């Protein structure tokens, strides 16, 4: 019986050991979270995840060790001594209830600065794009380039002027190394704009125009998709974020698209040849 108790104790002890070791290896090799390419906002969100993980990890290990201790020190069923029956301890119950409440209150107040920066303090800048989600695609509208002003035209996010904008399907272009401001809405059901590597997630709700801001520190192509089950075609709502090297490179791209759309001998639709297909069109009044 003594050997059986030791074996069961070691089995339960392996649970916290395996949990801690696996999390440590995943974090060491970058498999715990998706790669973070957001320097301003993503790092703050990752910090909140780390704080919560450390709190839950410490209590997970502590409770498992208490369980192992209780198993190892408990009396065998063939022991000569009488068993001790415990019906409860009000002091302990009040103590761990207050401890759990204190942790929740700490997390609630600790996350306020990050939540305020990510979701409340909207950057004071013109909108870079307007995204409309529908079953099952993302329609991204951009302002045309104003050659006289040497800047993009102002994008009216409430009612975009069709003659001053153009639209891409399933493709969002943004500049690197700066905060990007976009607005998302939905045409039919609730969708969710989610870019894992930039730590941004925002529901797109019919009838609501919701500002979203984030940043990308490194140029490249990244995936975004719908994170809300929106119907049988939900799996098709995969798209990409194209991060340009700089604001100048992004504005050069805007000028190219504007010139191409205004060329009389150019087709109204352009295909990239890579999935997802990009559709570019200039709407008339």
Distance of alpha carbon 135 from alpha carbon 8, whole angstroms: 53
Q: Residues 152, 215: one domain?
A: yes
205 found inside a domain: yes
CATH number, domain at 130?
2.60.40.420
**Residue 152 near residue 254 (C-beta atoms within 8 A):** yes
Q: Which residues contact 227 (CB under 8 A, 6 or more apart)?
A: 192, 193, 194, 201
- Compute the average pLDDT of residues 102-124: 93
Q: Residues 251, 131: one domain?
A: yes
282 found inside a domain: no
- Compute the average pLDDT of residues 124-144: 94
Q: What is the pLDDT of residues 169-194, one digit of tens each?
A: 999 999 999 999 999 999 999 999 99
81 found inside a domain: no
Q: Residues 92, 162: one domain?
A: no
Residue owning tokens 């909207």: 122
pTM of the model: 0.78
Per the model's pLDDT, the better-predicted residue between 264 and 150 turns out to be 150
Q: What is the pLDDT of residues 234-256, one digit of tens each?
A: 999 999 999 999 999 999 999 99
Q: Residues 186, 257: one domain?
A: yes
pLDDT at 78: 65
Confidence of residue 62 (pLDDT cuts 50, 70, 90): confident
Domain count, the chain: 2
Q: Residues 256, 130: one domain?
A: yes
Q: Residues 108, 168: one domain?
A: no
Q: Residues 51, 166: one domain?
A: no
Q: Residues 154, 105: one domain?
A: no
Q: Which domain holds residue 174?
A: 125-262
Q: Which residues contact 283 (CB under 8 A, 6 or more apart)?
A: 162, 163, 165, 166, 167
Q: Residues 184, 244: one domain?
A: yes
270 found inside a domain: no
């Amino acid at each position: 019986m003594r050997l059986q108790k030791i074996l069961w104790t070691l089995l339960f002890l392996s649970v916290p050991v395996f949990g801690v070791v696996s999390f440590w290896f995943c974090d060491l090799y970058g498999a715990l979270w998706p790669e973070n390419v957001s320097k301003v906002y993503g790092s703050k969100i990752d910090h909140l995840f780390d704080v919560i993980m450390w709190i839950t990890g410490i209590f997970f290990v502590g409770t498992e060790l208490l369980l192992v201790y209780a198993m190892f020190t408990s009396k065998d069923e063939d022991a000569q001594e009488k068993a001790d029956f415990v019906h409860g301890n009000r002091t302990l119950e009040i103590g761990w209830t207050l401890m759990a409440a204190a942790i929740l209150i700490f997390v609630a107040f600790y996350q306020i600065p990050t939540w305020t920066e990510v979701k409340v303090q909207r950057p004071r800048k013109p909108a870079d794009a307007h995204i409309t989600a529908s079953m099952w695609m993302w329609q991204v509208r951009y302002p045309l380039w104003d050659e006289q002003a040497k800047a993009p035209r102002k994008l009216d996010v409430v009612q975009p002027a069709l003659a001053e904008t153009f639209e891409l399907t399933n493709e969002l272009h943004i500049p690197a190394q700066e905060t990007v401001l976009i607005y998302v809405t939905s045409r039919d059901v609730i969708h969710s704009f989610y870019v894992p590597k930039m730590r941004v997630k925002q529901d797109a709700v019919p009838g609501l125009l919701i500002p979203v801001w984030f940043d990308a520190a490194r140029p490249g192509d990244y995936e975004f998709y719908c994170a809300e089950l929106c119907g049988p075609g939900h799996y098709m709502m995969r798209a990409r974020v194209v991060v340009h090297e700089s604001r100048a490179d992004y504005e050069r791209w805007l000028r190219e698209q504007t010139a191409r759309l205004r060329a009389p001998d150019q087709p109204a639709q352009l295909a990239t040849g890579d999935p997802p297909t990009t559709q570019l069109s200039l709407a008339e009044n």
